[in-house]
């Protein structure tokens, strides 16, 4: 896949993986549309958990060639029985339903022109669950499932991939491990591997679940 001049939309682009990935994609010549909850140029403001905001964002940006659903939230570690339902809803509203809203806004144009790439950010915890992170694990298992289902629904020419970025030194990781992120991969290294992965992507990848740290 050639990234030069491709229009790429990245959600959750104000920090962490999203910010580093946006920088790396721009360095490859892509036209990157950075999206985060708060607008601060060059970042476009959109809370993906609000379908109305997502619809307005799509009207504002128009179609894209590559859609990277990176926006996500996590919670303080706690046993399932102690996590309020409101916290479960907060995670699902962003990590799952927010992703669905973005897909429903941008995928029709890809299907119409029979061309496009959708990368949905998953997690190791979307494949193997761990204690005290049940809501987050549940949302990432959902990302894996919806990506697989969507890949079977899209028209030929559109590629949908679930992507596990690995253990990356971000604020979210610090939330899980009380700030201990020293052994984790820096976001910039993850972004570089992400770009290498995109360079190998082709139509045969549709429906795959990929680990970024393998590239």
Buried b (16+ CB within 10 A) or exposed e, 135-153: bbbbbbbbbbebbeebbee
Residues marked active site are found at 136
Residues 6+ apart with CB under 8 A from 149: none
Helix (H, G, I), strand (E, B) or coil at 82: helix
Residue with tokens 């009207």: 59
CA–CA gap between residue 77 and residue 41 (Å, rounded) = 33
d(CA 163, CA 23): 18
């Amino acid at each position: 896949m050639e990234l030069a001049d491709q229009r790429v939309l990245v959600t959750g682009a104000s920090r962490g993986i999203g910010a580093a990935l946006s920088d790396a994609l721009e360095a490859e010549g892509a036209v990157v549309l950075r999206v985060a909850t708060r607008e601060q140029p060059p970042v476009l403001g959109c809370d993906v958990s609000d379908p109305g905001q997502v619809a307005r964002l799509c009207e504002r940006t128009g179609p894209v060639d590559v859609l990277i659903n990176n926006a996500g939230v996590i919670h303080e570690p706690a046993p399932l029985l102690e996590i309020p339902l409101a916290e479960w809803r907060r995670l699902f509203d962003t990590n799952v339903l927010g992703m669905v809203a973005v897909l429903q806004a941008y995928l029709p144009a890809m299907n119409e022109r029979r061309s496009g790439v959708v990368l949905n950010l998953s997690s190791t915890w979307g494949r193997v669950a761990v204690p005290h992170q049940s809501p987050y694990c549940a949302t990432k298992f959902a990302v894996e499932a919806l990506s697989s289902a969507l890949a079977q629904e899209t028209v030929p020419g559109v590629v949908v991939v679930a992507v596990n970025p690995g253990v990356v030194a971000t604020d979210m990781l610090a939330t899980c491990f009380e700030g201990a992120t020293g052994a984790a991969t820096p976001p910039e290294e993850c972004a570089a591997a992400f770009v290498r992965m995109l360079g190998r992507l082709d139509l045969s990848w549709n429906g795959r679940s990929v680990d970024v740290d393998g590239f």
